[in-house]
Amino acid sequence: MKLRSYKINLDRLGITASTLCAIHCAALPFLITVLPMWGMGFLANEGVEITMIAVSLIIGIWSLSTAYRKQHRRIIPILVLIAGFACIAFGHFSDIGALEAILIPIGGLIIAAAHYINLRLLKSCPLGH
């Protein structure tokens, strides 16, 4: 009998979480009036937004720092991750509503790009890890 081992790929999980965060933040201004009618008003809650950001941050730091320390030793994915979270933080804490609607989804996509870059670096690792 053959046992299958399932390994969670944090980069793919990070790409998914960051992309969902970007979609959530981009679509929320358009859907905020109809979400309560659909029973999904909780999605407009700031706690949901902070939770999505925190989950993306935890996955990003865990995945990219592990890959950096143990495998490819390239700083580019970490710098891209920092840039993405800088966009999110600046957009979230600025008082300009239009800036928030633009910067937060862009930040989410930049974070997804950091995970994608990390995934590509892991696949091209000369040590075969």
Return the pLDDT at 40.
67
Query: Residue 123 and residue 100: Cα distance in Å, rounded?
Result: 35
**66 and 13 in contact (C-beta within 8 Å)?**
no
Q: Is the pLDDT of residue 3 over 60?
A: no
Dump pLDDT digits (tens) for 58-76.
Answer: 989 998 999 899 888 899 9
Q: What percent of the chain has pLDDT over 70?
A: 78
In terms of C-beta density within 10 A (0-12 exposed, 13-18 middle, 19 or more buried), how is residue 44 classed? Answer: middle
Q: Decide: helix, strand or coil at residue 2.
A: coil
Q: Is the pLDDT of residue 5 over 60?
A: no
Across the chain, mean pLDDT equals 81
Of 77, 111, 107, the C-alpha closest to 90 is 107
Would you say residue 43 has pLDDT above 70? no
At residue 70, the pLDDT reads: 87
Give the model confidence (pLDDT) of 79-92 as tens digits: 999 999 999 989 88
Please give the pLDDT value at position 61: 92
CB 59 within 8 A of CB 10: yes
State the pLDDT at residue 99: 86
Quote the pTM value.
0.75
Statement: residue 35 has pLDDT above 70: no
User: What interhelical angle do 97-123 and 10-31 show, nearest 10?
Assistant: 160
